[in-house]
Copies of this chain bind each other. A is one copy, B any other.
């Protein structure tokens, strides 16, 4: 009866195949294209058997979410451990954080709810570009007051503004349960915006 171990091994292998197949589908077609039947097809089974390995589809997504956080955690920790000075550590850690998001976009989408299948028609909607133009225009005037002339510089400043504001909004929406107070949000905004403006003014 040693076969029980062999069965355990086979069961574990099928579990891996489910995750491997899922990951491949996601990489090729995105999260929206991941379905139980498609996974089953890929591992040459029928859909219901997956429920012997995962409670439901959400459990599969949860597995990947967990993997994402594990990789992120490991990455950030390693970045920290290559420095001793807290300031250098801080820099390395956030850079590592960004690198993770840049390299593992599929993970990041899942972990932080960044759905990609939206507003591709941004250029179809005039008001979308109009808003960006308004902000860009004013930024141009502001930078003209100083001696910034390069387009590159303009682009960077703009995205710095945009990133902090968009990031703050997004984090508030996604982390609805443990989100910040209105006052905290506003003071972060004020400080960040003023800092950027001050930096532009030189």
Contact = CB atoms under 8 A, between A and B. Distances in A.
B197 A134 contact: no
Interface stretch (A11-19, A21-29, A63-71): A63-71
A173 B125 contact: no
Interface stretch (A2-10, A34-42, A48-56, A138-146): A138-146
Contacts of A57: none
A90 B138 contact: yes
A76 B135 contact: yes
Given A109-B173, A113-B119, A163 B134 contact: no
Given A66-B127, A115-B113, A193-B91, A171 B176 contact: no
A168 interface: yes
Contact of A113 (B102, B116, B134, B176): B116
A184 B80 CA distance: 24
A200 to B, nearest CB: 8
A173 B91 contact: no
A90 B169 CA distance: 18
Given A89-B138, A138-B80, A169-B101, A65 B159 contact: no
Interface of A: 62, 65-66, 69-70, 72-73, 76-77, 80, 86-87, 89-91, 93-95, 97-98, 101-102, 105, 108-122, 124-125, 127-128, 130-131, 134-135, 138-139, 141-142, 145, 152, 155-156, 159-177, 180, 182, 184-185, 187-189, 191-197, 199, 201
23 contacts: A65-B119, A66-B125, A70-B127, A73-B131, A77-B134, A87-B142, A91-B193, A98-B189, A110-B118, A112-B166, A114-B114, A114-B173, A116-B173, A118-B174, A122-B175, A155-B180, A156-B187, A159-B171, A163-B188, A166-B170, A167-B170, A195-B195, A195-B199
